[in-house]
Amino acid sequence: MLTAAPTDVTLPEPELLRRFDVPGPRYTSYPTADRFVEAFDAAAHAQWLARRGQVPAAPLSLYVHIPFCNTVCYYCACNKVVTRDHGRAADYLQALAQEIALVCRHLTGVRRVEQLHLGGGTPSFLTIEQLQQLMALLAGHFELDAARGEFSIEVDPRSCGPQKVRALAQLGFNRISVGVQDFEPAVQRAVNRLQSFETTAATIDAARAAGFRSINLDLIYGLPGQSRATFARTLDRVLALAPERIALYHYAHLPERFKPQRRIDARLLPSPQEKMGIMRDAIVRLTAAGYHYIGMDHFAKASDDLARAQMTGRLHRNFQGYSTRPECDLLGLGVSAISKIGPTYAQNARELPEYYDRLKNGLLPTARGVQLDRDDLARRAVIMALMCHFRVSKEAIETAHLLNFDDYFARELAALQAFVEAGLVTVDAEWISVTAKGKLLVRAIAMVFDRYLQQDQRARRYSRII
């Protein structure tokens, strides 16, 4: 029902970008994580874990956060711990074991897992033995269905050579996301991420040979030392590797918020025009090479599950970005991980000392969260439909949330008029649809439906879209 034409994306005119490219959230959740409150605590999370068994049980999605990295990349805004001490990972695995045991004491209902994602940090920081230990731990508490599911892991080729890739395949992983960002040596030096093309190619070749179903490659534009010419060379090499998916992220330089970014020489950053040129070139090259624009920063080959899911209306959005799996409860494990259970989100302590402390005291490491009310649920449905499918069926929202769309969202429909007049959105009696020109600005369109932004206008805390 919610189909879209994925490749149908065009760049809005510079004037429209200036007007509508406002700072905004990425909507991997709604409400966004900065709206979570401490009043939603471990007891509330435990209650919802227990209630899960009362509803017909869908499979569970698992996310495990591995916070460690060998070295720091200066552009990084992730929650990570930079260390070379692998003993720290051993302590962390012990804490994870405690957390899993505690969670499973409360968790009722089916524990079949069809979706597993290891993110970070750098999950490939773990040795093969530590990865085996982690998977054994998960298998001891959950029914892991790798044959039918998506088991994915983020890797850094510098810590994930062919041997580790093969071990990952043996452990059941079938999707791999490879961090690259840029292949130019000067750019790599400027961000402290020296990674040769050969190292990356070896990881990707090994993943293909080991039978991984989908390979994703992460890129960033807007990094110091980049220009249209240098990024064209990076794209040549990316296209030669032919990953099934490509994520092209925008670098937001916010050194006052993210300490590692203070080591970036701001004089080397590309100008806004150059940056826009890099993005424009990349979209033209990738779509010409047969990649479909999925949304936000993501591209996928037509044959990839992500593109197919979008075409058949089965695309979803969660904390890992886009997903082909229907909405199911998500259990987040590890420091800073976020769970989505029933109509709630719960986030673990964001710093390791607090995470360890709570577990030592036999407590779930939940630090904050939120229970969605009816209004949140309706708005989340609208925002996720826009983010995943670039269109919203008013009737679908009315039926699922028992409201009259035009009345309930009268203020938002009025606010959308500016986007309609700019040719970014169309609105009729049945649908709100984002046009080809509006797709790159979908975040700004989704923001119209965000009640929290309406309330306090804190949008300036977010990074710009492009």
| Residues near ligand SF4 (CB under 6 A) | 69, 72-73, 76, 78, 80, 120-122, 156, 179
Span between the terminal Cα atoms of the chain, in Å: 30
Of 159 and 310, nearer to ligand SF4 (C-beta) is: 159
Nearest distance from residue 313's CB to ligand SF4, in Å?
A: 33
Of 72 and 420, nearer to ligand SF4 (C-beta) is: 72
Residue 442, H or E segment: helix 442-447
Nearest distance from residue 120's CB to ligand SF4, in Å?
A: 6
Of 82 and 381, nearer to ligand SF4 (C-beta) is: 82
Nearest distance from residue 424's CB to ligand SF4, in Å?
A: 32
Measure the CA angle with vertex 12, ends 457 and 447; round to 5°: 25
Of 79 and 98, nearer to ligand SF4 (C-beta) is: 79
Nearest distance from residue 18's CB to ligand SF4, in Å?
A: 29
Q: What is the DSSP string of 208-244?
A: HHTT-SEEEEEEEES-TT--HHHHHHHHHHHHHH--S
DSSP secondary structure code for residue 150 in this structure: E
Nearest distance from residue 69's CB to ligand SF4, in Å?
A: 3
Least Cα distance to 156 among 69, 250, 49, 88 occurs for 69
Q: Is the peptide bond before 31 cis (omega within 30 degrees of 0)?
A: yes
Is residue 314 within 8 A of residue 326, CB to CB? The reply is: yes
φ and ψ of 128, to 5 deg: -60, -40
Alpha helices by DSSP H, 162-295: 162-170, 185-190, 197-209, 228-241, 272-288
The partner residues of 371 in beta bridges, in order of sequence, read: 344
> Is residue 269 classed as helix, strand or coil in its secondary structure?
coil
Nearest distance from residue 2's CB to ligand SF4, in Å?
A: 33
How many other C-beta atoms can be found within 10 angstroms of the C-beta atom of residue 372? Answer: 18
The partner residues of 120 in beta bridges, in order of sequence, read: 66
Measure the CA angle with vertex 443, ends 440 and 446; round to 5°: 125
Of 188 and 339, nearer to ligand SF4 (C-beta) is: 188
User: What are 255-259's contacts with CB under 8 Å, separation 24+?
Assistant: 257/77, 258/76, 258/77
Of 75 and 151, nearer to ligand SF4 (C-beta) is: 75
Of 177 and 323, nearer to ligand SF4 (C-beta) is: 177
Nearest distance from residue 261's CB to ligand SF4, in Å?
A: 11
Measure the CA angle with vertex 298, ends 191 and 259; round to 5°: 30
Nearest distance from residue 188's CB to ligand SF4, in Å?
A: 12
Of 76 and 466, nearer to ligand SF4 (C-beta) is: 76
Nearest distance from residue 154's CB to ligand SF4, in Å?
A: 8
Distance between CA atoms of 448 and 415, rounded to whole angstroms? 7
* Lookup: tokens for 353: 């000392």
Is residue 330 within 8 A of residue 318, CB to CB? The reply is: yes
Of 134 and 180, nearer to ligand SF4 (C-beta) is: 180
φ and ψ of 80, to 5 deg: -145, 165
Of 76 and 447, nearer to ligand SF4 (C-beta) is: 76
Nearest distance from residue 251's CB to ligand SF4, in Å?
A: 11
